[in-house]
Structure 1
C-alpha cells in the first residue's frame, strides 16, 4: 500500500495545502479529478492513522512521506467524505447533461413519430392492407412490425407505396431523433437518476456533519449548501422530464 501511495502522491504536482483548499472550495480548476479518485481509494481511516502516530511516537522521520501526508490530510475533519463530495461536484454537470440529453432525445423522437403525417399515412396503408387480407392488427406502430413478419405482404406493401405513394418514401426525414432514441434504454436513465439521488443524500449527510467542523470550515459549508441547491433544482427538472418520458413510453 505504501508503494501505491507514494506513486499516486508523486503525480500530484501542487502543494498539499493548495489541493486541500481546492477540495474545500469545490474548485476543480486546480486539481485533476483522477488524482482525487485515487486518493479516495487509498485514503486511510482515522483509526489506521492513529495507530501509525502512536507507533511512530509523532516522529515524522519515522512515519515517512506517505504516512506524513495522510496525517496532514486527517487534520481535516472527515477528509474522505469531503474528497467524495469534491469528486461528485466535478462530475455532476456531465451526469446531469447526459440525463437531460437522453430524455430530451426520447421526447423529441416521440413527438416526431406522433407528428409525422407521412408515417401516419404509411401506418394507415399498412393496417388497411393487413385487414383486407384477414389479419387481426391494431392501428399503430405494431401494424408495421407485424407487416415485417410476412415477406410476401411486405413486398406487396413496398410495391404499393413505391408506385402509388412515392412521396411517403422519405418519411424517415421526419424522424431525425429516432435512431439516437432507439439506443437509449429507460433502465439506464432510471439507474443514473437513482445514482444522482444517492449522491444528493451523501452530500447532504456531509453538509449536516460539517456543522460541527468549526469556524475554519464555514466557507466549505457554504459551497456545499450551494451545491445542494443546484442538485435540488436539477432534480425537480429531471423528475419532470422522466415523468414525461415514462408517459410517452407507456402510451407507446
Structure 2
C-alpha cells in the first residue's frame, strides 16, 4: 500500500489518538491536509525546479553554440564549396553537372561512394585534395569545438521540448494549488507563504527561460535554412549528425 493510500485510509480513523504511535499520529495529521496529493507534487516540483532549469539552459546553450560554430566557420564553407565542385565534375555532361548547391544528406554518402576503380571513397579523395591543395582547412574541426559535445548529448538535447513542457506544466500546477489553498484556512497558511515566495522568484526565471527557448528553437531551425533545407525535414539533430560525421 502506498503512503498516500495509507493517508486516505487513516482519514476515517475516529479512535483515541493516545492509542496511536507517533508515526500513526503524524499520518493522521497529514490526512487532515486538503489536497495533500497535489501539495506533495507541488512541493517536489519546487525542490527540483532549479535543477530542471539548469539542465534545460545547459542543453539550449549546447544547441546555440554548436549551431553558431557551424554557421560561422569559414573553413567549413570552403570545404562545402570543394564538395560541390567535385560533384559538378563527377556529374559533368548531365543535368546535375552545374549544380549551385547540394542536399545535406549528400555528406552522409561521401564515405559510401567510391571513385573510379573502387579503391578510394569520395571522402578519402576529398581529404587527399584538401591535404594537397588546401592544407590550412584540415583543422576546420577547431572551429566546431562545441559540436562534438552537443553530438554526445544529442539524446538529451532531443528531449528539451519535453523538459520545457514539464517545467511550464509544473509551474502552472503550483499556481493552481496556491489559488486553491486560499480557502484552506490556517492549515495551509505557511504553505501558501512558501509558494508565494517561490512563484515570485520562479516566475521571472520561467519567463526568461521560455524566451531563451524560443530564441534557440528558431536559431536551431536556421541551421537547415542556412543550407536551404526544410527545418521540418532536417531538424537540428539530423543536421548535427551530418556535420559530426564530416568532422570525424
If the TM-score is normalised by the length of the shorter chain, which range does it land in?
0.7 to 0.9
TM-score (norm 2): 0.74
Q: Does 1:144 align with 2:132?
A: no
1:5-34 residue CA offsets vs partner (Å, 9 max, x unmatched): xxxxxxxxxxxxxxxxxxxxxxxxxxxxxx
**Are the structure 2 counterparts of residues 67 and 216 from structure 1 closer, same or farther at C-alpha, using a change threshold of 3 Å?**
closer
- Residue 148 of structure 1 deviates from its aligned partner by 2.8
Structure 2 residue aligned with 1:188, among 143, 159, 176?
159
Q: Does 1:162 align with 2:131?
A: yes
1:240 and 1:140 map into 2 onto residues whose CA distance is 31
- Residue 213 of structure 1 deviates from its aligned partner by 2.4
Q: Which residue does 2:9 correspond to in 1?
A: 48
Unpaired stretches in structure 2, ≥5 consecutive residues:
115-120, 225-248
Unpaired stretches in structure 1, ≥5 consecutive residues:
2-40
1:172 and 1:201 map into 2 onto residues whose CA distance is 43
Query: Any idea what SS the aligned residue of 2:4 has?
Result: coil
TM-score (norm 1): 0.73
1:174 and 1:168 map into 2 onto residues whose CA distance is 10
8 Å CA contact retained: 1:123, 1:144:
no
2:176 and 2:129 map into 1 onto residues whose CA distance is 64
Q: Which residue does 2:87 correspond to in 1?
A: 130
Higher normalized helix content (fraction of residues): 1
Q: Which residue does 1:232 correspond to in 2?
A: 203
**Are the structure 2 counterparts of residues 108 and 74 from structure 1 closer, same or farther at C-alpha, using a change threshold of 3 Å?**
same
Q: Which residue does 2:229 correspond to in 1?
A: none
2:183 and 2:7 map into 1 onto residues whose CA distance is 17
**Are the structure 2 counterparts of residues 220 and 150 from structure 1 closer, same or farther at C-alpha, using a change threshold of 3 Å?**
same
Q: Which residue does 1:90 correspond to in 2?
A: 47
Q: Which residue does 1:174 correspond to in 2?
A: 143
- Residue 92 of structure 1 deviates from its aligned partner by 0.8
- Residue 144 of structure 1 deviates from its aligned partner by 2.8
- Residue 64 of structure 1 deviates from its aligned partner by 4.2
Q: CA RMSD in A?
A: 2.5
1:218 and 1:75 map into 2 onto residues whose CA distance is 14
Figure out how many residues of one structure are paired with residues of the other and give that number: 209
